[in-house]
Amino acid sequence: MFNFSIAGIGLLTLSIMLIAALGYGLGRVSIKGISLGSAGVFIIALLFGALFPTFLTDSLTTNVDGRTISFAANALKIVENLGLVLFVTSVGFIAGPNFFANFKKNFKSYIILGTLIILVGGLSAVGCICFGRWLEGGDPGFDPKELTAMIVGLLSGSLTSTPAFSTAKETVAPIYEAAVTVGYGIAYLFGVVGVVLFVQLVPRLAKADMEEERKHLIHEEAKKKEENKNLIEIDEFGIAPFAFTVVLGLLLGGIKIGKFFSLGTTGGALIVSLFVGYLGKIGHISLMPRGATLKVFRELGLMLFLIGAGVAGGIRFVEYFDIMYFVYGVVMTVLPMIAGFLFAKYVLKLSLLNSLGSITGGMTSTPALGTLIHMAKTEDVAAAYAATYPIALIAVVLVSEFLIILF
């Protein structure tokens, strides 16, 4: 009944590989030591979607009862979700051995910082709503509810938060769902690139000694590794326990609490992989994938996630782009980062790398964590991300829902 064109599937595969090759090439370009890194893949994917909006749409089609149906959007969503699962689960496994010790040491700091970042983002959104209503107040066709939906979409894009985006779409009236989607797409670009550049600029501006900064991170994995010795491995690379962890994470993420909130793909996969990574074993059976496996899955997942999200966003980006909305998105990305960093440094007294790791978690920025790991040359920063992320995840969903109800 469903017959995908072989050429269409081939073009999708070709497109993914071409975007990856060009994106990593762009990410490698360095200007005064600052580079896009993996975010270069997102830029190329966004351009691909904007320049060739019908390329995949026309290729990935099938005929059902004489009707032509496009599966391009679903195909890109599968690519995006698969990448997200691979990346987040890898991060959870990597951070797991250090997570609970780090979280116990800085428990209050992570909760306060994650909440603060989202609250500043929420207050920025309120300011944008008020300013937008004042700016458009004289227009007889102006719809304040549509503006609110657009700005809440911008907030979720600025914080690259898919759960907040989903909640916003479910909370607004059906007529305003498109506004949420457009806002998310417009702000997502700077939401990705802005945080990636921020985590690179701050250490340079602070003239930080990265070797010295790495010493301030908690190191307990040596003990864990000494204990994974002489364990039974299900398979050589640890793919079986990885896959089983993903299954449990997806099941947890699918549980709804109340009408709107759920951990989603990201939250469920992260929490389960953190726990499994911390345990490391059941009896004499190893639950830990090989380190090399986790590194490959982490990078592959990040690449697929950025391509899926970037192409889909680029297809609608030009159609709905508005410079004022882009400015709103920049404000809602920059202010929470600056407030979070200053609070972490001067009030909570966190080390530089713990501060930056926490900010990537507070901003729920998957690409920025990848960049920070490469820049810091240690995966221990993932523990700070993992500690702050769940707090920010819950807070941004609640703030988004509150803004729609209030305004």
Selection from 405, 324, 310, 320 nearest residue 366 by Cα: 310
Domain boundaries, the chain: 6-62+70-220+249-406
SS3 351: coil
Strand-pair category, 30-31 with 34-35: antiparallel
In this prediction, what percent of the chain has a pLDDT beyond 70? Answer: 83
pLDDT tens digits, residue range 331-368?
A: 999 999 999 999 988 898 888 888 888 888 888 787 78
pLDDT band at 305 (very low <50, low <70, confident <90, very high): confident
The residue ranking higher by pLDDT, 74 or 373, is 373
Q: Match 């994470």 to its residue by tokens.
A: 249
Gap between the Cα atoms of 286 and 300, Å rounded: 23
pLDDT tens digits, residue range 57-67?
A: 665 655 555 55
Q: How many CB atoms lie within 10 A of CB 189?
A: 23
SS3 233: coil
pLDDT tens digits, residue range 205-224?
A: 888 777 777 777 755 444 45
Q: Which residues contact 248 (CB under 8 A, 6 or more apart)?
A: 272, 276
Gap between the Cα atoms of 149 and 163, Å rounded: 15
Helix locations, 137-254, DSSP H: 144-158, 162-171, 177-205, 210-214, 221-228, 239-253
SS3 173: coil
The residue ranking higher by pLDDT, 95 or 152, is 152
Assess whether pLDDT exceeds 70 at residue 316: no
Q: Which residues contact 222 (CB under 8 A, 6 or more apart)?
A: none
Helices 177-205/162-171 angle, 10° precision: 150
130-134, 245-249, 368-372: least confident range:
368-372
Report the pLDDT value the prediction gives residue 220, as an integer from 0 to 100.
44
Report the pLDDT value the prediction gives residue 123, as an integer from 0 to 100.
93
Assess whether pLDDT exceeds 70 at residue 251: yes
Assess whether pLDDT exceeds 70 at residue 138: no
Selection from 278, 275, 313, 305 nearest residue 366 by Cα: 305
Q: Distance of alpha carbon 230 from its chain centroid, rounded? A: 36
